[in-house]
Structure 1
Amino acid sequence: MHIRSALAAFSGWADSGRRLVRRRLGRPRALDVLTALSCLAVMALDVPGLADADNSLDSRLEAGLVLTVSSATLLVRRRAPLLAYGVGLVLLGWLHELTLVQFALYSLARFRGRRAGVVAGVAYVLVAYALFNLPGWPVSRAGTPAEFLSLVVPIGALAVGVGIAANRQDLVRALERQRATTAVLEAVQAERARVSGDVHDFVGRELTLLTVRAEVLARRARGEPYEKDFEELSETARRAHRVLNEIIVQRGSDGAPTPGLDGLAALAEESARAGSEVGLDVDDAALRLSPLRQAAVYRVVQECLTNAAKHAPGRPVAVRIAVADGLARLTVTNALPASAPARTPVSAGTGTAGMAERVRSVGGTFEAGRRNGTYVVSAELDAGSGV
């Protein structure tokens, strides 16, 4: 149990450390610089020995310069990991230095995949063994072939294994990002389909009324000079309705039109039954907004109440809809809990994208985010007449 606790604590510290590094240093350039400096720091421990060894380096300065230039190849480890790998093998044969090639093996496995990492690891072991058997190698330091390989093989395998694991993590993160992007796109498309349905319902209703009214006026004007004008108006409205039916994708039988502001009271009651009181403050002028704008406001409030129930259960929600200077402004505010919930709420993370798409579909602007311990969603729409 103690071991498990220690491993869990270490994992938590490691995750916190990785998040801190990413936040402070950024990715990926700063991490490449950090990797090169780390490699140089490890190799710098060998500078005194390299300067004294029989390897054509006459001073510590020369040894330091060689190691600095060699470690600099890690700066391009993402685009050209083979460069650091090749230089690492040269250092292995020339200075008997193992450090750079280990960093290069990790980089190859991470940025070129498992196959490249395994092939490079096997080649590294074979090259190291061949170098060991060449005349001039420091046998006193290397020992027997078995002793030499017991050092070379585990280090290389570890570097390749960690690199492959990191590569798999990178692939998982990329897949998660792709899935999140796809979910957002699907949410936007779904909201556009709902907007299209609302357009069909609201505009189609008006065109139907126009058609009927024009036919009535045409009958009343029989024998009058403008009878034909009313008949043309009726036929034009009928054609427009047919075109609308052809353009707008039809929804299923359950595709009822989105309610307007008169549906907010039901939303507030439903939220109150779930434990979150909702304060509605709606200007009378807002009730004169067009059907599509009212539907947009309804959808935003509906999604905000759903999110508040997930992430801040039991906290009150304030909904304010004001109309002034030709603009309708919607503000939904809810207090955030002091601590994270014990269980992470199930959420696709696409609600905000859907709200933004709905508001922008009627020419409005949308913002959402944390503000002084609260979560605020605000939208601004043109309060003008029309659909």
Structure 2
Amino acid sequence: MEGVHVKPVVPVLQRAVAHGRRLAEGRSGSPRAVDVLTALGCLGLMALDLPGLAAADNSLSGPVAALVLGAGCATLLVRRRTPWISYLAALLFIGWLHELTLIQFALYSVGRYRGRRAAVLATLAYIAFALLLFYGLPQWPAARAETLSGFLGLFVPIGVLAAAMGIAAYRHDLVGELTDRRAEAAVLRAVEQERTSVARDVHDFVGRELTLLTVRSEVLSMRARSTAYGPDFEELADTARRAHLVLNEIIVQRGGLSSTPGVDGLAALAQESGRAGSPVRLTMDRDAHGLSPLRQAAVYRVVQECLTNAAKHARGQTVDVSIAAQGPQLRIAVRNALAPRAPGRAPVSAGSGTASMAERVRSLGGTLTATRTADGYEVVATLPRG
């Protein structure tokens, strides 16, 4: 159409915005950088129209036209919070400068950040505004040489496609946010389950000692019944029984997982991993057997989760498990090479196992790091031995 400044921008818009989003969000993670790239892309497309604008509108010289276009593109910097500013500026550009580039970016932004309903309303209003110009301003360049069908054949696809792309991006963002929320919920559930497991282990190990204390106190109270110490031993036995009852009410009645094995169960765990296709080389200091039951359960839990991850992501690779005393600390190191990526679907993984075993280690005053090395994957945990 003579005098109407429009580029085949829908594909260009798609590529520019998608590339800008990947570039900025993928590398820098900054939404502001995405908006700057979008505004610059729009300005670059409209800058190609500067000679035509100066010829079609005598009120705009080249420098003034550049400033006006720059101001219009600057509205895209606030498109996330107020996309309607870009939309109104784009309508002004259509009526004044006959420029259709900004409206595509504006409709995309409305669909992307305000959803389907807003995008549909904005598109309908844009088409109605264009029809008003077509019928109300005969001097408008598009109205001088084109029929209504040709006019709508240009304006309607531009608006509909730009808005549809924005709506699709909006839905993609919703799906991504829902996926992130589900992943966060899975991690929180794993951490909560690990806390329940720790509590159950506390009940099993502490309850055993409370039972022994109760029995010993009752025996001593019977032996000292005729002495002045008899009531004291009876009170001690009653206190131990009440403590055990409270422990049962807090933990057992809530349900939970069965108690976690200690370091004695590592050999069976290694054999099970070998049968599953991930052989294990286990080296363990004798000092590990002197740890408290809770610390032994933490060691077992770390090794168990590492072997599970190795079975998922490094099947067939040998896993080296080292448990060694280093001064006041016990160091657990699990290493494995990464298996070549096999064709087919990736193994199912919620990504919450590392968080759960880290919670177990932190609850005992230790630390845990999981890093990818040059030749594989390594998990290192330290626990205080005392």
- The reply to whether TM is greater than 0.5 is yes
Please say if residues 20 and 34 of structure 2, whose CA atoms lie closer than 8 Å, have aligned partners that are also in contact.
no
Partner of 2:101: 99
Please say if residues 142 and 148 of structure 1, whose CA atoms lie closer than 8 Å, have aligned partners that are also in contact.
no
Partner of 1:7: none
The correspondence for 2:171, drawn from 150, 168, 172, is 168
Equivalent residues in 2 for 1:320-339, closer than 5 Å = 320-339=322-341
The correspondence for 2:280, drawn from 278, 281, 289, is 278
Partner of 1:260: 262
What is the one-letter code of the residue matched to 1:262? D
Q: Does 1:359 align with 2:361?
A: yes
Equivalent residues in 2 for 1:106-117, closer than 5 Å = 106-117=108-119
Q: May I ask how many residue pairs the two structures share in their alignment?
A: 369
Partner of 2:292: 290
Per-residue deviation, residues 203-235 of structure 1 (Å, max 9, x unmatched): 111100110011111122232222222112111
Cα distance in 2 for residues equivalent to 1:246 and 1:142: 86
Equivalent residues in 2 for 1:131-170, closer than 5 Å = 131-135=133-137, 136-139=139-142, 143-170=146-173
Cα distance in 1 for residues equivalent to 2:276 and 2:31: 45
- Residue 338 of structure 1 deviates from its aligned partner by 3.8
Distance 1:80 1:177, change over 3 A: same
What is the one-letter code of the residue matched to 2:274? A
Partner of 1:179: 182
Distance 1:85 1:133, change over 3 A: same
Please say if residues 55 and 94 of structure 1, whose CA atoms lie closer than 8 Å, have aligned partners that are also in contact.
no
What is the one-letter code of the residue matched to 1:90? L
The correspondence for 1:191, drawn from 194, 205, 213, is 194
The correspondence for 1:42, drawn from 28, 45, 64, is 45
Partner of 2:301: 299
SS in 1 for 2:228: coil
- Structure 2's unaligned 5+ residue stretches are 1-16
Distance 1:139 1:298, change over 3 A: closer
SS in 1 for 2:253: coil
What is the one-letter code of the residue matched to 1:112? R
Distance 1:129 1:233, change over 3 A: same
The normalised TM-score by structure 1 is 0.91
Partner of 1:8: none
Please say if residues 110 and 166 of structure 2, whose CA atoms lie closer than 8 Å, have aligned partners that are also in contact.
yes
Cα distance in 2 for residues equivalent to 1:212 and 1:169: 64
The 4+ residue runs of structure 1 with deviation greater than 6 A are 14-18
What is the one-letter code of the residue matched to 1:188? V
What is the one-letter code of the residue matched to 1:151? L
Cα distance in 2 for residues equivalent to 1:26 and 1:296: 36
Cα distance in 2 for residues equivalent to 1:258 and 1:203: 14
The normalised TM-score by structure 2 is 0.91
Partner of 2:3: none
- Residue 367 of structure 1 deviates from its aligned partner by 1.1
Please say if residues 318 and 334 of structure 1, whose CA atoms lie closer than 8 Å, have aligned partners that are also in contact.
yes
Please say if residues 87 and 107 of structure 2, whose CA atoms lie closer than 8 Å, have aligned partners that are also in contact.
yes
Partner of 2:378: 376
Distance 1:106 1:20, change over 3 A: closer
Please say if residues 193 and 249 of structure 1, whose CA atoms lie closer than 8 Å, have aligned partners that are also in contact.
no
Distance 1:116 1:140, change over 3 A: closer
SS in 1 for 2:127: helix
The correspondence for 2:64, drawn from 62, 65, 75, is 62
RMSD between aligned residues: 1.9
Q: Percent identity?
A: 63
Greater mean deviation of Cα atoms: 360-369 or 146-155: 360-369
Cα distance in 2 for residues equivalent to 1:106 and 1:18: 13
Cα distance in 2 for residues equivalent to 1:178 and 1:55: 55
Distance 1:219 1:80, change over 3 A: same
Cα distance in 1 for residues equivalent to 2:79 and 2:283: 58
Cα distance in 1 for residues equivalent to 2:297 and 2:42: 60
